[in-house]
Amino acid sequence: MQSSPLQNRAIPLSAIVLLAIAVHAPLLLMQIPLGSYDANTHIFFASHYANHWFDPWNGKWYGGFTQTTYPPLTHQWIGLLSHVLGLNFAYMFVQLVGIVLLVIGVYRFAKLWVSERAASYAAIGSIFLGSLAMLVYQFRPVANDIRCRAHPERSALLLWVDAVRKIFSTVEGVAIGATAAVAHHATLLFGAGLFAFPVVWLALMERDDEREEPASFGGVVSRTVIFLVVLLIAIAVVLAPYFLALKANPISQTPIPHGSRDNYILNPASGINFWLVPWARC
């Protein structure tokens, strides 16, 4: 039996985004993430930017510290929106934006490897990820993981068919990568390779694709290196306050109280929160 054209049609991305909003918006409106492990810390940082946008020095903790020791983007958005929505709902709105960006990122990344219809299924699946629920409702803001939207586009590495497309793709990739850095630097540094290396490999494998202008192995590698150098320069610029703060106040690895460092046998509550529940969701 032949399948109908309707059965082979991809689910529109707009419909998937609406589904993500329908699933998560009610939970966010109930402010469930306020009970998550790090929510109050991030709201505290955001409240400082709401009142002192150009002064990162926060005197309310540890006798004073600079908030440039943590990338500011998420907190600044929450602080900015808090003047309209209030801190709690601004926090929820930024989480919703992060969820939508995750869905879009999964869809666009999956399209590099599978059909548009299969990519739409992957995007739908990302809405119900246990790891997503853990990030939003148990641990920390999913907006920190905006990096999933920041994978280098194949066009920035391979196609370069015309000057306009080349410039636009490169600028877009660099801008999104720098944005990911100021959302959460550690996530970008440790997670970007999981997206970048497969894309580079795909560019190498498809450099002789008949549908596009052929490219040599050296051409793909050189373009990739140029892209990465420009991206690293952009990241260094936007994270300059962070690096300067670390230089002035080096991290001495002083132990801090955190449940993830507890003995899970002697402290069962930490074991449930940081080991049993996360692995059960996997």
Q: Which helix (H) or strand (E) holds 169?
A: helix 163-183
Residue 1 lies in a domain: no
pLDDT digits (tens, 9 = 90+) for 187-219: 777 777 777 788 778 777 776 655 555 667 777
Is position 115 within any domain?
yes
Which pLDDT belongs to residue 164?
Answer: 45
Query: Residue 19: what pLDDT?
Result: 96
Residue 35 reports pLDDT greater than 90: no
Q: Which residues contact 2 (CB under 8 A, 6 or more apart)?
A: none
Helix axes 39-51, 73-85, angle to 10 degrees: 70
pLDDT for 175: 81
Decide: 46 and 90 in contact? Cβ < 8 Å.
yes
Is residue 74 domain-shared with residue 187, that is, in the same domain? Answer: no
Could you report the per-residue pLDDT of 149-186, keeping only the tens digit for each?
434 344 444 443 334 456 777 777 788 778 878 877 77
Reported as a single tens digit per residue, the pLDDT across 49-99 is 999 988 888 888 878 888 888 888 888 999 999 999 999 999 999 999 889
Residue 88 within a domain: yes
Split at pLDDT 50, 70, 90, the class of 117 is: very high
Domain count for the chain: 3
**Higher pLDDT, residue 100 or 187:** 100
Give pLDDT tens digits for 120-151.
999 999 999 887 888 888 776 555 444 444 34
Residue 119 tokens, joined: 């990519």
Query: Cα(182)–Cα(239) distance, rounded to whole angstroms?
Result: 7
One domain, residues 155 and 179? yes
- Spatial distance between the Cα atoms of 21 and 18, rounded to a whole number of angstroms: 5
136, 22: one domain = yes
| Residue 118 pLDDT level (bands cut at 50, 70, 90) | very high
Q: CB–CB of 193/241 below 8 Å?
A: no
Model confidence at 226, in pLDDT bands (50, 70, 90)?
confident
Of 91, 1, 83, 2, give the one whose Cα is nearest residue 38.
91
Instruction: Indicate whether 41 and 107 sit together in one domain.
Output: yes
Q: Are residues 33 and 129 in the same domain?
A: yes
Asked whether the beta carbons of 277 and 268 are under 8 A apart, the reply is no
What's the confidence (pLDDT) of residue 148?
42
Residue 90 vs residues 4, 24, 43, 99: alpha-carbon distances, Å: 44, 15, 9, 14
pLDDT at 234 over 60: yes
pLDDT band, residue 252 (cuts 50/70/90): low
**Residue 4 included in any domain:** no
Specify whether 139 is located in the same domain as 40. yes
Domain contains 182: yes
The residue among 119, 144, 169 that closes a domain is: 144
Q: Are residues 116 and 221 in the same domain?
A: no
- Interaxial angle between packed helices 87-111 and 73-85, expressed in degrees from 0 to 180 and rounded to the nearest 10: 130
Residue 3 maps to a domain: no
Owner of token pair 């548009």: 116
Claim to verify: residue 243 and residue 269 sit in the same structural domain: no
Residue 233 has pLDDT above 80, yes or no: yes
H or E element in which residue 144 lies: none
Give the 3-state secondary structure of residue 77: helix
Residue 2 lies in a domain: no
* Residue numbers of the domain that contains 282: 253-282
Q: Is the pLDDT of residue 21 over 90?
A: yes
Residues 13, 140, single domain; the answer is yes
d(CA 103, CA 116): 14
Q: Which residue has the tokens 């510290």?
A: 65
Whole-model pTM: value is 0.76
44 vs 178: which has the higher pLDDT: 44
Last residue of a domain, one of 144, 168, 188: 144
Task: Please check whether residue 234 lies inside any domain of the structure.
Answer: yes
Location of structure tokens 């720098």: 178
